[in-house]
Structure 1
């Protein structure tokens, strides 16, 4: 599994023109009257990577995103992903190319305190997954965030969620298909009726983050001091039919983002992960990991955007394979928040195996949303 990750680390992507449709959070909304509406949007991410001297380019992600309301309570989300690099979640390999259903959700939103989503959706396993790749503080998805999922951090199931204080306290609880059937984490033990259960709570001490999703960078529009805790469990998710085992994982994460020295924005983020596969055979990570991130958005215009130096360190300590550590550092060029951003970064990935060489990579990435 981790060897497959290293192979995908060497796959690269090229910058291309924006498709011209909007993002999941913006887009173009058509008012249909009587509380009904329809929104369409989209987003693209592309990069050029030089890996140990080999340079190439590829489209990483292109999404068409739609949502709508039938009335004040009933709504839907339907998003697609055109993906050509094998994914932003490479530790669970899937179809390396093609058009995929990203989200297909029926939303029953009764009030702030109680809502029900059913279908294929983002699992509330940690802040990074609720961010998604477009709303992280650095370009690549963290290698230490390795919970089971079907595709791109999603799975099919039902989530109950709500909030108080306008989004200061939030909870999520859900049941999903998990490691069975065609899921990339399925083993010989999977195939029964055992579901994957996920629960999460978070609290914002400063500005609230309302809604199901979050972000790891608000670029000065919010001041955030947030902590979150998540658990993930599935019985008969690992091992074989004759020797099955359970899967249990948990994570704690935190984000601080505050204006300092005027309107400069200091961001500190960290997360710790624990994965227990019952010491059975499985493609899932068994072990622990953490990451630490710091960035500083400079309150000065450099052309149409602002510069944001950033550094992140990750360490994945696996019991069923060798350890991986990675440091990424460079600068983000913030033109319009997460809707228009360029990243120029260097990363070095080390493998605690004398037979596996470290990987040096330079990344030039562009993401656009509307």
Structure 2
């Protein structure tokens, strides 16, 4: 059955196709190269890059003209090693503009799919968006309007996680203890209370092919997916100052459905969040300090992957809606995304064109943004 791209999306398709054709001579992207030392030990290395052009309404330095910005959003170096098969080390770096930081750095004990232990800097088990990271979303931009759990850097924190995938991988559990929020003299966590993070997800159809307890928001039809996840983070004395503190509690439910229907792959995603504490946190600062607000948030998204290849890739239009409703009057912020991905090699080679409109009740403004992005991993 032949399908065609809707007329309203054809200008975006025409913008993406020439770049995709120019890249068609590149070798297929993959997850990196593995060098085998012997039958029990190996080293792997890979990388990732996200670059974009964006134009934002009133975003120029004048405050009255559109901005025109070319951004190196992320350059990543992935490194890992296996030692005697059951032990491992992962060390990943992330660079953006002129700054390079440690992204992940953890030791691994992985004796079985049912039980594993990681210790170091890693992604705490939270919502699907955070476990996707920017490279494995359906949309381009991270949904930071709704997914705002405390983190040290790029969703990470220092701690320990126990995880496993029983029932042939259909059930994924992950529980961890982490350094947590506001761990600073004069702030709420000067007593160094740990943050607990836990997630349980069940796949009612195929088990998700993502590694460990990680996720993606689309698998481009490789599996039939219907997964429901529940996550909770709790920390005593997690928000506020030493003299005005409160316990932190945040939790969410997220759902992913994906099905190859023949004429295309349908992807549906949703999430609901609750951040439950008093409005006492300090303004955001560097590190895992300040900036948290109580309230509710919601996310909904849909995508459709056309089956026919045009040039080296396939087109995938998507829509996404975010709504953040912090406690208090007139604080709601909404964002609408309408975009088109040109999928060359799954999440390893993808181009994106996105229009975003953000509405704020607090400021009474509506701001639109147009973005062209390119993402590659190897």
Same fold by TM (over 0.5)? yes
Pick one of 349, 355, 362 that aligns with 1:340. 349
**Structure 1 unaligned spans of 5+:** 1-14, 85-96
2:81 pairs with one of 50, 63, 68: 68
2:376 counterpart residue number: 368
Matches within 5 A, 1:23-34: 26-34=31-39
Per the TM alignment, residue 22 of structure 1 is displaced from its structure 2 partner at its CA by: 11
Alpha-carbon distance between aligned partners in 2 of 1:285 and 1:22, rounded to the nearest angstrom: 43
**1:120-153, CA deviations, whole angstroms, 9 ceiling, x for partnerless residues?**
0011111111111100010011120000010000
Report the RMSD for the aligned CA atoms in angstroms. Answer: 2.1
SS across alignment from 2:129: helix
d(CA) in 2 for partners of 1:192 and 1:46?
41
C-alpha distance in structure 1 between counterparts of 2:153 and 2:219, whole Å:
26
Partner of 1:161: 163
Report what 1:44 is aligned to.
49
1:151 aligned residue: 153
**In structure 2, what is the Cα distance between the partners aligned to 1:276 and 1:220?**
36
Say how many residue pairs are matched: 336
Distance in structure 2 (CA, Å) of the matches to 1:123 and 1:187: 25
What is the CA–CA distance in structure 2 between the aligned matches of 1:99 and 1:54, rounded to whole Å? 25
Unaligned runs of 5+ in 2: 1-18, 58-65, 283-290
2:146 partner SS: coil
**1:76-95 alignment runs, 5 A limit:** 76-84=89-97
2:316 maps to 1:311? no
* CA–CA separation in structure 2 for the residues paired with 1:187 and 1:276: 22
Please give the TM-score of this superposition, normalised by the length of structure 2.
0.85
Q: Which has the higher contact order (CA 8 A, sep 6+)?
A: 2
**C-alpha distance in 1 between matches for 2:257 and 2:110:** 29
Distance in 2 of aligned mates of 1:285 and 1:279: 6
Within 5 Å, give how 1:1-370 maps onto structure 2. Answer: 26-52=31-57, 53-84=66-97, 97-142=98-143, 143-181=145-183, 188-209=187-208, 211-260=212-261, 262=262, 264-282=264-282, 283-319=291-327, 322-353=331-362, 355-370=363-378
Cα distance change, pair 213–33 in 1 and its aligned pair in 2 (3 A): same
Any conservation in 1 of the 2:298–2:324 contact (CA below 8 Å)? yes
Cα offset for 1:170?
A: 0.7
Q: Report the Cα distance in structure 2 between the residues aligned to 1:322 and 1:136, rounded to whole angstroms.
A: 27
State the TM-score, normalized to the length of structure 1: 0.87
Superposed CA offset, 1:176-216 (max 9, x none): 0011347xxx9711221200100110000111125221111
Structure 2: distance between partners of 1:164 and 1:42? 30
In structure 2, distance between residues paired with 1:122 and 1:60 = 19
Query: Match of 1:11?
Result: none
The higher radius of gyration belongs to 2
SS in 2 for 1:279: coil
Counterpart CA distance in 1 for 2:376 and 2:37 is 28
Whole-Å separation in 2 of the counterparts to 1:22 and 1:132: 22
Between the aligned partners of 2:368 and 2:256, the Cα distance in structure 1 is 28
